[in-house]
Amino acid sequence: MPTAVDPSLNRRKLRLALKSARDKRGLTQRDAADALEWSLSKLIRIEAGTVSLSVTDLRAMLLEYGVNDPDIVVELEEAARGSKGQSWWSDYNDVISQPFSQYLGYESAANLIRSYHPSLIPGQLQITDYITALWEVSEPTPRARRLIDMRLARQERVFHDGGPKVEMILDEAALRRQIGGPGVMRRQLAHLKALASGEQATLRVLPFTAGAHDSMDSSFILLGFTDDEDVLYLSGPGGVLTNRDDREKVARYQECFEDLQNKALGEEDTMAMFDDLIENFHRTP
């Protein structure tokens, strides 16, 4: 199980601390970049947490921002040393996009993952056979195998001791859609039931009887943090988008998730539906 601190977590720690220090100093990003004699793009990348930071550059920033508490300086220097190196998903950079790579950095640091998909079981919950059946819609390729491996590695990063709390709304349509056939669906539903019986995941079904709702044509993921604002991830035909700065859009999807929770079955009724569907798939030829 994952135990080492991923470099992306150290980069995120630096991002939060340095942005906070700059704000307290009353500097814009342009002001800070000019004072440090850096390009604006360099500062932006550091504050986005997408690049590593040398101890030398860190010390220059801390000096400019007036951060001189010895304990804080030592802590951030250690984070800077740990910001170098590759994140776990770098092994899959040949098959994933840069926007999704950015999302994985946020997901790795999240304390809470909330999501909804109108037609599929979310990727973090899919068993191997379900994932494979999805990719077999098109001709299997080495790239598809790599993407399957990446998704399983991602699940391992989410579901480990000390991992994030997971709250997901599962649409009844996704649970009834036969991806891979009845046998695969029985195993997939049994997996969902096992996850829902544990302490890390809260899974609830949105039944057909819930009627219309705001998210019928879109899937989304909300990542929660104890020390930062929620991050929104959207994926669709137009590509993927990770959003943390448009607070109005993030708030809109926070409201959507609350609405879905209000319309979803309770935990006991959700478990009962899992059992009913497992039985139905046993009877399906």
DSSP 153-218: HHHHHHSSTT--EEEEEEEHHHHHS-SS-HHHHHHHHHHHHHHHHSSSEEEEEE-GGG---TTTT-
Least confident interval from 97-106, 133-142, 212-221: 133-142
Q: What is the predicted pLDDT for the residue at 88?
A: 87
Q: pLDDT tens, 201-226? A: 999 999 999 999 888 888 999 999 98
% of the chain at pLDDT higher than 70: 95
Confidence of residue 3 (pLDDT cuts 50, 70, 90): very low
Q: With bands split at pLDDT 50, 70 and 90, how would you rate the model's confidence at 5? A: low
Q: Is the dihedral of CA 44, 76, 161, 198 positive or negative?
A: negative
pLDDT at residue number 1: 45
Residue 129: both structure tokens together? 């056979």
Between the CA of residue 135 and those of 131, 142, 208, 221, what are the distances in Å?
7, 11, 27, 22
Judged by DSSP in three states, 14 sits in helix
Domains of the chain: 7-82 (1.10.260.40), 90-283 (3.30.870)
With a cut of 90, say whether residue 228 has pLDDT above it.
no
Q: Where are the beta strands (DSSP E) in 229-275?
A: 231-236, 239-243
Residue indicated by tokens 């440090």: 36
Residue of 79, 84, 108, 270 whose CA lies nearest to 189: 270
Mean pLDDT score of the chain: 91
Question: Are the C-beta atoms of residues 280 and 230 closer than 8 Å to each other?
Answer: no
- 239: pLDDT strictly greater than 80: no
pLDDT in tens, 241-275: 777 778 899 999 999 999 999 999 999 999 999 99
Measured over the CA atoms of residue 13, residue 16, residue 19 and residue 22, the dihedral's sign is: negative
